[in-house]
Every structure is written in C-alpha cells, then in structure tokens.
Amino acid sequence: MDFPLFKAGCVAAAILGVVAFAQQGETKRVKLGSGKEIFESGCIGCHGPNGKGQPQTVLGFDKPGTFPDFTRCDQTTPEDNIAWRAVIRDGGPRRGFVQIMPSFSGLLTPTQIDQVIDYLRGFCTETGWPRGELNLPRALATEKAFPEDEWVVTTGINAQGAPGVSNEIAFEKRFGARDQIEVSVPVDFQRPARGLWYGGAGDTGIGLKHVLASSLRTGSIVSLFGEVVLPTGNRPNGLGSGTWAFQTFAAYGQLLPARMFAQFQFGAELPKDTLKAPQNVFFRSAIGKQFNQARGVGRLWAPMFEFLADRDLVTGARTNWDVMPEFQVTLSRRQHVRANIGVRIPATNTAGRYPQLMLYLLWDRADGGLMEGWR
C-alpha cells in the first residue's frame, strides 16, 4: 500500500466525518445554511481557509498532487457549474482527478452543492473573466468567442473529386482575462494528377483574439480577432497564396434554453497582392445542444449543424453556401480531450465543389496533460 496515499485517504475520511457529524434526520443530509458554512465544515481541511490549499505543514501528509488555488481566476472561471458539480457530487475520480477528493453525494443536496460552488467562485475577486458556461462546444468551422488554451488538429478529407487531405494545426494560448494568441499552420496533401502528390506546410497565421464583452446573465459573449498570414507555403505546388494577408472576424456566442446554443462568425480575408489571391468575405454559424450522461454530469455529447458561406470580392463571383452536420464528444474522463466529426456538403455552386469528411482532435491544456485524466 502507498503509505502517503493511505494517510491522505485517512484525512479525507476525517473530513467526511466532520461533515457527517452535522447530519440530521433520516435523509442523511447536511443541514447547513450557506456555502461558507459548508466549505468551513467539509472543505477547509484540504483547501484552506483562503481557498489556496492548506500548506504542507498543516496537512501533516504528503499531498498526492497540487490543490487548486481558488483565488486564481484562471482556475475558477473557465469551467461551468456542471464540471464543479461532477467533482463535488461524485468525487475527484469522476473527472480523472486525485482519489483524495471524496464524494459528497450522500451528504449535500443539489442546492447545497450549488451554494458551495458560488462560495468557491467568490475567491476570484477580479472582474472581466468570462464564465465557463460561455465556453461553448467548438464547431468544426465556426470560431468560438471564448479565449482558450488548446491544441487543435483539424482534418478535411475529400470524399469526391481529386484525392486530398487538408490539415490545420492550431496552438491557442490564453493570457489575462480576455485575450488569446493563436498560431496556425496548415499541412496539406493533394494529388493534382495521377501519380503526382504534393504535400507540406502552407501559409502560417499569427493572430490575437480579444473578448469585447461577456455576460452570464444574458448568456452572451462577443470577441474580435485579427491575424497576419505569412506566405510560408509553396505557391507553385498549391500550398500557399504567395502573398501576405490579413484576416479579421467578429465572433458571437449565445446560450439558449434547454442547453442549446448558437455561435456566429463574420469576417474577411484581405491579401496584400490581389493578383495572387482575391479578397474574400465569409459567414459561419453553428447551432447545437449539449447532452451529459450520468445524470447530467458525465460524458458530454454536442450535436451541431453549421451553415457556412464565403464569397470572393471579384466581379461576377457568387456566394458559396455549405451545410455541415456534426457532433462533438468528450474522450477523456476529465473532458479536456475531445473529438468532432462531420460532413461538409456544398449547397450552392456545386460544380467542382465536393463533400468533405471533417474531423478534429482537441486538447485543452489548461485542464491537464494530454495523458492525464483518462481514468
């Protein structure tokens, strides 16, 4: 037996004993009136009176990991209340965290769990941090308004026409309450003629996203994004435009009743040399719904439907409309690794435009390492 972990389990049991002491009646529920009282009765032993975690000298045992610091807004704001409920109700193992976090399902009512969540969120005293409820599921094409700390690899496979596979590797790094920097590199493989394949990296983009406004009360968030695209690809082989470009867009997310949501994106691509690449405007939108297994706190499924449009700003150009049914699912127990799969189907101007199988793999680095939180 791992002795430090055994001592940790004993401490967890002691904490549960304190809470159990407050039980009354046949319901076996804690009778406490506020989130602060619940925290001080059942959580302070590990998380400390200020929410930063008890120091090693007070704990008296070797910590199996690092306790969260609830005063850090980057740790308390990105997740929605469902994620908090899952850990408090079912314990740390429910979301792939350490065993020391016990389950309070038999001790706290749903109302009491929400009360302690509200109290824990109060340790973050800075304003301007968008709440995790506005961190909507990522669509395949429509960009989110919420700032992220993610790696995302998106792949498109031609279902008809000339064989080809397009990929985009995106690195997103959040800093501060409202900002995110993004670096994206396309990696494409295409066969323009039988027996001839071209493959390699395309034009690299470096961009900045800024949240203009967010409101949990209205369920809305809006951001602006600007990106410089460098001509790093091989234009003769079809792997780049051969010119500098600037891309900009506005992104809007909206919570809807019954855990439905809508996201919208409108922007433009503005190359420096329009003889090499035309200017373009685009519109993307997604509507979907979130489902959780295990009484609302388990694996997340998010079916979505996207409507996509783009048009080159040249004489005689027509607007291309596509539709894309898809669904996202969480893969890891911690829900920080997710996948999405869909089919992009041309709806107008279909000559020379063919369906594509689309998919992505997403890793939210803020929630832990890629191999953490699976069991």
pLDDT one-digit tens code per residue, 143-182: 999 999 999 999 999 988 888 899 999 999 999 999 999 9
Which is the CATH superfamily of the domain at 132-367?
monomeric porin ompg (2.40.160.40)
Give the residue-averaged pLDDT of 176-189: 96
Residue predicted with more confidence, 71 or 17: 71
Q: What is the pLDDT of residue 97?
A: 83
The model's confidence at residue 17, banded by pLDDT at 50, 70 and 90, is very low
Q: Which pLDDT belongs to residue 31?
A: 56
pLDDT attached to residue 253: 98
| Domain-wise residue ranges, the chain | 3-121, 132-367
Position 46 scores a pLDDT of 85
pLDDT, mean of residues 303-316: 97
Q: What is the pTM of this model?
A: 0.87
Q: Give the pLDDT score at 61.
A: 62
d(CA 303, CA 322): 17
Let me know: does 39 contact 116? Beta carbons within 8 Å: yes
Q: How many CB atoms lie within 10 A of CB 195?
A: 5
Give the separation between CA 160 and CA 57, rounded to whole angstroms: 65
SS (H, E, C) the chain: CCHHHHHHHHHHHHHHHHHHHCEECCCCEECCCCHHHHHHHHCHHHHCCCCCCCCHHHHCCCCCCCCCCCCCHHHHCCCCHHHHHHHHHHCHHHHCCCCCCCCCCCCCCHHHHHHHHHHHHCCCCCCCCCCHHHCCCCCCCCCCCCCCCEEEEEEEEECCCCCEEEEEEEEEEEECCCEEEEEEEEEEEEEEECCEEEEEECCEEEEEEEEEEEECCCCEEEEEEEEEEECCCCHHHCCCCCCCEEEEEEEEEEEEHHHEEEEEEEEEEEECCCCCCCCEEEEEEEEEECEEHHHHCCCEEEEEEEEEEEEECCCCCCCEEEEEEEEEEECCCCCCEEEEEEEEEECCCCCCCCCEEEEEEEEEHHHCCCCCCCC
pLDDT at 23 > cutoff 50: no
In the predicted structure, residue 192 carries a pLDDT above the cut 90: no
Cβ distance 249 to 281 under 8 Å? no
Q: What is the pLDDT of residue 63?
A: 65
Above 90 in pLDDT, residue 184?
yes
Name which residue leads in pLDDT, 268 or 43. Answer: 268
Most confident of 94-103, 187-196, 329-338: 329-338
User: How do residues 107-122 score in pLDDT, each as one tens digit?
Assistant: 899 999 999 999 999 9
Q: How confident is the model at residue 321 (pLDDT cuts 50, 70, 90)?
A: very high
How high is the pLDDT of residue 271? 97
- What's the pLDDT score for residue 64? 63
Q: Looking at 13-22, 118-127, 328-337, which range is the least confident one?
A: 13-22
The CATH T-level fold of domain 3-121 is: Cytochrome Bc1 Complex; Chain D, domain 2 (1.10.760)
Residue 11 has a pLDDT of: 38
Q: Is the pLDDT of residue 215 over 80?
A: yes
Q: Considering the chain, what is the average pLDDT of its residues?
A: 88
pLDDT at 19: 42
Q: So what's the pLDDT on residue 77?
A: 93
pLDDT of amino acid 12 = 39
- According to DSSP, the residues that pair with 280 across neighbouring strands are 269, 312
Q: What is the mean pLDDT of residues 288-306?
A: 90
Report residue 141's pLDDT band, with 50, 70 and 90 as the boundaries. very high
**Is a pLDDT exceeding 50 seen at residue 318?**
yes
- Distance between CA 320 and CA 279 in Å, rounded? 14
